[in-house]
A and B are shown apart, each in its own frame.
Chain A
Amino acid sequence: MNTIPFGPRNPPEDPLLAKAAELPKDVAPARDLWPGIAARLGEAEKPAARSFRWPLALAAGVLVASVSALLTWSLTRSPDVPAPNTRIAQATPTAAPTEVVPVKYGPNSGLSAKDFGARDELLRQFRGKFADLKPETRAAIVKNLEIMQQAANEIDAALAKDPASGMLKGMLVGTYKQELQLYSTVVTSSDGLTRRI
């Protein structure tokens, strides 16, 4: 940080300005102004709230965005296509799950009963096809849902501190849409996703 102090860089040639430059820079107010300021700081948003929430929320957002890439790969890859360069945990074929746990959204999500109703309907259709998916696809889906859950948790925690944040709300809705997209992709896809008998 630059901490260059106040003061003329070059002494003024004008004697009047030279005298002005010699005036004390500091003038003490007649009363302590801090109590009034401190009272108003409570009304103002704490700077820390802004500066430290965003990295958390953005990290969650990155996870959500990464889900799409991995999911696309999981559902459409052929055996000889390498996985995309993503840090998301790879599914373990030997531990293929038979059931999914939908994402739980916290009290700050702002999602309505209508939103959850739409999801539940899609989830019902999804579950009807889930058991028929290839083991590695099922494992990938479960892993991705876990990541979405982590993102939702972090965004919800950030929203608890900053309920008015439009950006956080947008990210939360984005997570919700990702979840729906996942279910929808499975429901509407038929070829190549199910087990070969």
Chain B
Amino acid sequence: MSAGRVDSSAELVMRACRGDTGAFEDLYRQHVGRVYGLCLRMTGQPESAEDLTQDTFVSAWRSLPGYEGRSSFSTWLHRIAVNAVLAKRRSPQGRNEVSMTDELGEQMEFEADAPMDEATPIDIERAISGLPPGARDIVVLHGIYGYSHEEAAEMLGVAVGTCKAQLHRARHLMRARMGEERAT
């Protein structure tokens, strides 16, 4: 954000709606970390995450007139980001990209690196990035960013039950990865 500026998101959004790109840049500065963080964790690929972050903000710029303030601006932005990630995954380009796959996820069930109590944030991040996409999505949205199962399900376009099942699976895979099963 520009020096000396303490504008709230609401004020910045209103100014951006009037075509003020400076205000929109301030919004970008406020929110880019979370948007990029979400994209990076959902894709596991920094380069894709950068592209998706840019796509997210461009889409947000186009869609600002439709933003009604029913959810926080951050949540609204995250929905756009999730849509961008899912759309890329469905695209031919996204399908061809090398990523952590279910295959690797299954493989991790037999690995055991470190006891849970000693797990560092890097261990957690690594375990999350190694999850298959569906399980990873729900851990990112629910586990890291705190969305409810209902919100995450809506964002991902799946049933709430699917989210819960994916989270269960993710926890199992992560525990295996981090050695909890062996430790206990």
Contact = CB atoms under 8 A, between A and B. Distances in A.
B157 interface: no
Interface in A2-26: 2-9, 12, 14-17, 19-26
Contact of A28 (B19, B33, B64, B171): B33
Nearest to A48: B19
Interface in A32-62: 33-34, 36-38, 40-41, 44-52
A17 B171 contact: yes
Contact of B53 (A2, A6, A20, A33): A33
B13 interface: yes
Q: How large is the interface on A (under 10, 10 to 19, 20 to 34, 35 or more residues)?
A: 35 or more
Interface residues of B, number: 57
B106 interface: no
A30 B46 contact: yes
Contacts of B72: 1-5
B90 interface: no
B74 A1 contact: no
Nearest to A12: B143
A38 B21 contact: yes
A27 interface: yes
Given A23-B144, A25-B37, A40-B54, A6 B74 contact: yes
A17 B40 contact: no
B143 A41 contact: no
A2 B143 contact: no
Contact of A48 (B17, B37, B53): B17
Nearest to B56: A37
Contact of B18 (A25, A28, A29, A51): A51
B178 to A, nearest CB: 8
Given A22-B121, A23-B144, A46-B19, A15 B57 contact: no
A87 interface: no
From A21, A29, A36, A41, name the one whose CB has the most chain B CB atoms within 10 angstroms.
Answer: A29
Contact of B50 (A4, A26, A29, A40): A29
Interface stretch (B24-32, B79-87, B94-102): B24-32
Task: Please classify the interface of chain A as helix (H, G, I), strand (E, B), loop, or mixed, using the class held by over half of its residues.
Answer: loop
Contacts of A8: 146
15 contacts: A1-B9, A2-B69, A2-B71, A2-B72, A3-B10, A9-B146, A19-B121, A21-B144, A33-B32, A37-B61, A44-B58, A47-B17, A48-B20, A51-B18, A51-B64
A1 B20 CA distance: 19
B8 interface: yes
B135 interface: no
B139 interface: yes
Given A19-B116, A19-B121, A31-B50, 19 more contacts: A1-B72, A1-B73, A2-B72, A3-B73, A4-B72, A8-B146, A14-B171, A16-B116, A17-B139, A20-B143, A29-B32, A33-B32, A36-B54, A38-B21, A41-B21, A47-B64, A48-B19, A50-B65, A52-B18
B107 interface: no
B8 A16 contact: no
